[in-house]
Amino acid sequence: MAKTIIDLKRADLTLGSAAASVHVLKGIDLEIAAGESVGIVGPSGSGKSTLLMVLAGLEKLDSGEINIADAPLHAMTEDQVADFRGRNIGIVFQSFHLIANMTALENVAVPLELANVANPFEIARRELKSVGLGERLNHYPGQLSGGEQQRVAIARALAPSPALLIADEPTGNLDTDTGRQIADLLFSKQTERGMTLLLVTHDNALAKRCSRQIRVRSGQIESDSAPIAPEAEAAIA
Ligand SMILES: Nc1ncnc2c1ncn2[C@@H]1O[C@H](COP(=O)(O)OP(=O)(O)OP(=O)(O)O)[C@@H](O)[C@H]1O
Ligand SMILES: [Mg+2]
C-alpha cells in the first residue's frame, strides 16, 4: 500500500464577508496516496481552485484537518506553512504567474535563492533545459509564447524537487496542441520523479489521463473513481 501524501478530514471553509459569504468547502474528506495522478473536475464555482489552495497551504481551513506527508498544516503557523510549501509543493496556475521584469532564468532561480538553496542558478538552468527551454534562459515572459511561459512556470514549480505538484487548469490558456504538449510534460515529469500530481481541469480527456478522477460539486466530492478501500467494502457488505 502506497504511503498517504494528502489526508484531508472534514475540511470546511467559508469565504468572503457577511453579505457576500460563500460556504465553499463543505466537510470534504479526501485521501491521496503518494505517486497518484488525480484529475479534479466539476462545474465553475464548485470549489476546485479553493480546494487546491487549501492543499497548497495558501488558504486556511475554518475547521477540519489537512495533513500533507504527515505534516499537520492546520496546526502550523503561516511561516511554517510557507516554509513547508517551498520545500514540498510545486504549484502551476492557468495564467502562469511569472514575474514580468525577470528573465526565465531569474523566475526559476530567485525563489530558490530566497529559500537559501545552494546553487540556485545552476539548478534553474538545469530545470529550464529539462522543460525544453535551454535556448530561452534570458528571455523575459513578454518575449515568450504562452506554452513557453507555462514551461517556465513548470520549471519553477519543479526546481525544489517537490513531492507534490498541484496545477490549476494548467492548459486553460493554451491552444489544443500546446495544451497537449504541456500535459505531456507534466505527466512525464510526474513519472520520471515519482511525484504526486493533482490537476484541476475542464478538459475531461485530460482528467482521464490521470490515474484517478474526482468530481467536485457545490463544495463536496460528488464522485471519486478511486477503488473502494477493503474496510469500506466490508462495512457496505
Ligand atoms: N474570496 C472570496 N470571497 C467570497 N467568495 C469567494 C471567494 N473566493 C471564491 N469564492 C466563491 O467560492 C466559490 C468557489 O470558487 P472556486 O474558485 O474554488 O471555484 P472553481 O471550481 O475553481 O471554479 P472555476 O471552474 O470557474 O475556476 C465560488 O462561488 C466563488 O465565487
Ligand atoms: Mg478555478
Residue located nearest, by CA, to atom 29 of ligand 1: 45
pLDDT of 236 strictly over 60: no
pLDDT tens column, 175-186: 999 999 999 999
pLDDT at 94 exceeding the cut of 60 = yes
47: its cell numbers:
470549489
Strand 196-200: give its sheet, edge to edge: 89-93, 164-168, 196-200, 37-41, 212-217, 220-224
Q: Is 215 in the pocket of ligand 1 (CB under 6 A)?
A: no
Q: What is the pLDDT of residue 2?
A: 78
For residues 17 and 127, the model is more confident at 127
Task: State if residue 18 touches ligand 1 by the CB under 6 angstroms criterion.
Answer: no
Measured in angstroms, how far is the CA atom of residue 22 from the centroid of ligand 1? 8
Closest residue by Cα to atom 22, ligand 1, is 49
pLDDT of residue 234: 56
pLDDT of res. 231: 56
Residue 18 has pLDDT above 90, yes or no: no
Give mean pLDDT, residues 76-88.
94
pLDDT higher than 80, residue 1? no
Whole-number average pLDDT of the chain: 94
- Tell me the ligand closest to 216's alpha carbon: 1
Q: In whole angstroms, what is the distance from residue 60 CA to residue 228 CA?
A: 29
State residue 235's pLDDT score: 56
pLDDT tens track for 42-62: 999 999 999 999 999 999 999
Nearest CA to ligand 1 atom 25: 44
Question: Alpha-carbon distance 142 to 210, whole Å?
Answer: 32
Q: What is the largest CA-CA distance in the chain?
A: 61
**Minimum CA distance residue for ligand 1 atom 24:** 44
Pocket test for ligand 1, best of 40, 44, 50, 201 (most atoms within 8 A of CB): 50
Give the residue whose CA is nearest to atom 9 of ligand 1.
15
pTM score of the predicted model? 0.92
Distance 94 CA to ligand 2 centre (A): 9
| Average pLDDT value for residue range 147-173 | 97
Q: What is the pLDDT of residue 17?
A: 87
The Å distance, Cα 45 to ligand 1 centre, comes to 5
Is the pLDDT higher at 127 or at 2? 127
